[in-house]
Amino acid sequence: MIVLGIETSCDETGVGIVRRHADGTLELLADEVASSVEEHARFGGVVPEIASRAHLQAMAPTMRRALDTAGLELSTVDAIAVTAGPGLAGALMVGVAAAKAYSTASGKPLYGVNHLAGHVAADTIEHGPLPPRCLALLVSGGHSQLLLVEGLTEKITEIGATIDDAAGEAYDKVARILGLPYPGGPPIDKLAKQGNPRAIAFPRGLTGQRDAPFDFSFSGLKTAVARWVEKHEATGAEIPLADVAASFQEAVADVLTAKAIRAAREHEVDTMVISGGVAANSRLGELARERCAEAGITLRVPRPRLCTDNGAMIAALGAHVVASGAKPSPATLAADTSLPLVYGS
């Protein structure tokens, strides 16, 4: 079965194509992405209207490239999946309208699926089907969540989430404080490699006795970094940028992995998936590997390319949804910023 996936929830226009084999494994046939990230850089964050305009211009060319790469035509795919939510409303709308048109023109069934479940499904492209139960740590520019996944198409329960900034957002804001470009994840990650992660003891949000054990908070951390930098600027001393980056990164990776391990233990799962743009972070990966190994948990992280927004992860989730026997979305499908995690629930 061949499924084509369309993704436009934020600033990436993605079209991916996967083939699902009878044993549940996936074969990646195409993964084309057009990004408007450079147009947002000078604004320090995604500007929804700019992203939506870019999706409109990129949609048809990205589709063409994906079909050409796979050596297919729309008439030879079996189903189309599209991110119907959550995400930026105006951006989602472009992908959903396009997907409906491609589905109408080709007569192929259309499935409107959840972007966050798609991030988790991305891992099944590389590492095969998920076990019956696992924990997913989803860390991206817009989300930071702990999900208990008991079947990607059956039951996904949110057991914790950020109460303020997402982890990626914290990277982007701290990058601004340090005078690094947007998006902030990659430059901080790079700079941190030359710094001392124990140089500054930045706070670990929501780790007190009475705090919600599986929720995250990164806004206090961002403010603490800003305060530290301002204090040092005032003394006229040169800011040890690499140490600040490394110490900030350590605080993020420490909190994320500590809470994820605790959640896995509490919910008695032995597999953890980390996905979303921040999963590309080198220190998060390293610390997660260390702590999962200690706890006897199998760690699965998709390659960086599949961690950030892409159409292949939507195709992957779509393929699992189709295989589950679910009915296609109705002809009146629209973007839904509060779409449930599990298809059809």
Ligand X SMILES: Nc1ncnc2c1ncn2[C@@H]1O[C@H](COP(=O)(O)OP(=O)(O)OP(=O)(O)O)[C@@H](O)[C@H]1O
- Contacts to ligand X by CB under 6 A: 9-10, 87, 140-143, 168, 171-172, 183-186, 189, 276-278, 280-281, 308-309
Coil, strand, or helix at residue 162?
Answer: strand
**CA dist., res. 308 & res. 139, Å (int):** 10
CB atoms under 10 Å from CB of 186, counted, come to 17
Binding partner at 106 among ligand X, other proteins, Mg ion, none, C-beta below 5 to 8 Å by kind: other proteins
Closest CA to 310 of 126, 164, 187, 78: 126
Interface residues for other proteins in 65-104 (CB under 8 A)?
A: 74, 89-90, 93-94, 96-98, 100-104
Q: How far is the CB of 161 from ligand X (least distance, A)?
A: 11
CB of 290 to Mg ion, least distance (A): 26
Q: Shortest distance, CB of residue 305 to ligand X, whole angstroms?
A: 11
From candidates 1, 34, 37, 56, binder to other proteins by CB under 8 A: 56
DSSP codes of every residue in 97-140 = HHHHHHHHHHT--EEEEEHHHHHHHHHHHHH-SPPSSEEEEEE-
Tell whether residue 335 is a contact of other proteins (CB under 8 A): yes
Per-residue tokens: 98? 């396009």
168 is in the binding site of which of Mg ion, ligand X, other proteins, none (Cβ under 5 to 8 A by kind)?
ligand X
Considering the rule CB under 8 A, would residue 332 count as an interface residue with other proteins? yes
Question: Does the footprint of other proteins cover residue 43 (CB under 8 A)?
Answer: yes
Strand partners, 82: 6, 112
60 sits near other proteins (criterion: CB under 8 A): yes
> How many C-beta neighbours within 10 Å does residue 262 have?
15
CB atoms within 10 A of CB 267: 16
The amino acid at residue 170 is A
Should residue 155 be labelled a site residue for other proteins when binding is judged by CB under 8 A? no
Q: Which does 201 bind (CB under 5 to 8 A by kind): Mg ion, ligand X, other proteins, none?
A: none
Q: How many residues does the chain have?
A: 345
Nearest to 143 by CA among 345, 344, 308, 330: 308
To the nearest whole angstrom, how small is the minimum distance from the Cβ of residue 173 to ligand X? 9
Evaluate whether 83 touches 6 at the Cβ level (below 8 Å): yes
Are 141 and 10 a contacting pair, CB within 8 Å?
Answer: yes
Q: Which is nearer to other proteins, 49 or 211 (CB)?
A: 49
Q: Which of residues 122-161 bind Mg ion (CB under 5 A)?
A: 140
With CB under 8 A as the contact rule, the residue among 163, 241, 326, 334 that binds other proteins is 334
Partner interacting with residue 248 (select from ligand X, other proteins, Mg ion, none; CB below 5-8 Å by kind)? none
- CB of residue 211 to ligand X, shortest distance in Å: 23
How many residues touch Mg ion (CB under 5 A)? 2
- 295 belongs to the binding site for other proteins (CB under 8 A): no
According to DSSP, the residues that pair with 156 across neighbouring strands are 149
Q: Alpha helices, DSSP H only, in the chain?
A: 37-41, 48-70, 89-106, 115-127, 167-177, 185-192, 219-234, 241-266, 282-295, 304-307, 311-323
Of 70, 130, 177, 312, the residue at the interface with other proteins (CB under 8 A) is 177
Helix (H) or strand (E) holding 298: strand 298-300
Q: Which of 14, 256, 309, 318 binds Mg ion (CB under 5 A)?
A: 309
Q: Rule CB under 8 A: which residues touch other proteins? A: 42-44, 47, 49-50, 52-53, 55-57, 59-60, 63-64, 74, 89-90, 93-94, 96-98, 100-106, 176-177, 223, 226-227, 230-231, 331-335
Q: Rule CB under 5 A: which residues touch Mg ion? A: 140, 309
